[in-house]
Amino acid sequence: MQIDTQNERPTSQPDPATHRLPPGGALIIATLLVSAFVVILNETAMNVAISTLIEDPVLAIDERAAQWLTTAFMLTMAVVIPATGWLMARFSKRTLYVAAMGAFVLGSMIAGFAPSFPLLLLGRVVQASGTAIVFPLLMTTVMELVPPARRGAFMGTISMVMSVAPALGPTVSGAILQFASWRWIFFGVAPLALLMLLVGARNLSGAPLAHRPRLDGLSVPLAGFGFGGLVYGLSLIGAQGLPAWQLPVALGAGAVSLTAFVLRQRRLQRTDDALLDLRTFRHPLFTTAVLIMAFAMAAMFGTLILLPLVLQDALGLEPLQVGLITMPGALLTGVLGPVVGNLYDRWGPRPLVIPGGIVVMAALLLYTTLQVSTPWWLVLIMQMVLMLGFAFTFPPLFTVSLGSLPKHLYGHGSAIVGTVQQVAGAAGTAAFVTIMATRQTQLVAEGVASGEALLEGARAAFMGAAALWVFGVIATFWLRKPADDVPDEREHRDAEREQATTASGSAAP
């Protein structure tokens, strides 16, 4: 690595004085952004293909089996994401990126050619294992390459990818199904993913890392049973026709394994060998931002799962109309992402996150006024108001959370942010559906029409979300912009050891 002798700074690092990326940095980030867009787009593409898969005589599956294509993807993400911090500390970015995109391409081809449902399910699991790595790798790379003064703008671009790709997934999938087989949902993305794999393999760094943590054999199964069991258990809440033991066993195994996992990581992080380093939570700004993010993800995912049910079963709209109502809000979030990121770089988080949180609160309260007679255009406005609030919330939260950490914890911080998204999303979905279904069942038993009962249950769920979000809004007042250079505890510790060694050496006769 070359050194700038005038400033005594490695030339491969971002220059905070000039706000410039290091050579090749823009191409690396662009490659990761496009890759993230492709894999996230495919994540939601199966949502509208369920009925087509059920009708395929080759697969011969029912609706419950078809839903496993989504459930298995979600569970794989929940299991792999917590390990990405360790993976980024153990392997070079090039190696990890090639493995992630290679898994995604391989999974796409397995699913596309699958002659049976088990192989299709296997393809989705292999896809998900690659998808889980790309997003934390993108966020960590941005934090390492982008000067602090420009991080908000880049995080805003990441927020755009996260918002637009899931919204376009069902639309692209629907267009493919209109003219071709469901297999082209997988064949269509594979060439682009392969192209990005080749570009990334050429441009990402393959330099060896200074510290390579060892793999703890006990942490891996604990993480799998902990996060996987918790997310799976939450996904079962509100489901019908399940054995009585399945839900408590899944949640119980998840809770016990997660507790053991946390205790194990606290011990391993003393030697920097943790699978998921929890010292990130020693930084108050990171903890506050992640807490707000958890509330926000729960509210957003819960709304996104509940709103289509309300629009179809209570307001009587067609699936195409539902898609057209929910898409503009997601696109608005994507368009505003870079704008909000630039505003963060100028003003910091509070002038953005506090008003954004209040707007989210207003939207949730508006949803509690839904009636059978509510016109579709008013629901569209409500959804756009909600997503407008989230557009001013997520980019600053991403930037504050990772920006408050020392460099050696970027990877683990990204892993925690990704894990929180999965767990909070599952928790929000479970809470919304449970509240709605419980209230609907009570009202139907009293003789209320099913559509009106569902709407009343939905209003109760939105009111509960608004009450919970009060804590999220209050927490936004504790946010501030992190310092540009967060002290690195590990470097400080290594320096102290070196100083002690030198002192003992000089004191020897």
CA distance 17 to 264: 41
Task: Look at residue 436 in the predicted model and tell me its pLDDT.
Answer: 86
pLDDT at 242 over 80: no
The band of 505, judged by pLDDT with boundaries at 50, 70 and 90, is: low
| Helix runs in 317-449, H state only | 319-347, 350-367, 376-391, 394-403, 410-445
Q: What is the mean pLDDT of residues 35-59?
A: 83
pLDDT in tens, 11-36: 345 555 456 778 888 899 999 999 99
At residue 478's C-alpha, the angle toward residues 475 and 481, to 5°, is 125
The band of 7, judged by pLDDT with boundaries at 50, 70 and 90, is: very low
pLDDT at 450 over 80: yes
Contact 265, 412 (CB under 8 A): no
pTM > 0.85: yes or no: no
Selected residue with higher pLDDT from 337 and 318: 337
Contact 11, 25 (CB under 8 A): no
Task: Look at residue 3 in the predicted model and tell me its pLDDT.
Answer: 37
Give the HSE-up count for residue 125: Cα atoms under 13 Å, Cβ half-sphere: 11
Q: What is the mean pLDDT of residues 307-333?
A: 81
Average predicted confidence (pLDDT) for the chain: 85
Instruction: Note every long-range contact of 502-507, with CB atoms under 8 Å and residues 24 or more positions apart, other chains counting.
Output: none
What letter would DSSP give residue 207?
A: P
pLDDT at 8 over 50: no
Q: How many residues does the chain have?
A: 509
Task: Look at residue 301 in the predicted model and tell me its pLDDT.
Answer: 83
Torsion of CA 460, 464, 466, 468, to 10 degrees: 180
Task: Look at residue 131 in the predicted model and tell me its pLDDT.
Answer: 93
**pLDDT over 70 for what percent of the chain?**
89
Q: Tokens representing 486?
A: 């967060």
pLDDT in tens, 60-109: 888 778 878 888 888 898 889 999 989 988 888 899 999 999 999 999 99
| Helix runs in 369-409, H state only | 376-391, 394-403
Q: What is the mean pLDDT of residues 465-474?
A: 92
Q: Tokens representing 86?
A: 């360790």
The band of 112, judged by pLDDT with boundaries at 50, 70 and 90, is: very high
Q: Rounded to a whole number, what is the distance in angstroms from the first to the last CA of the chain? A: 38
CA distance 233 to 483: 39
Contact 323, 377 (CB under 8 A): no
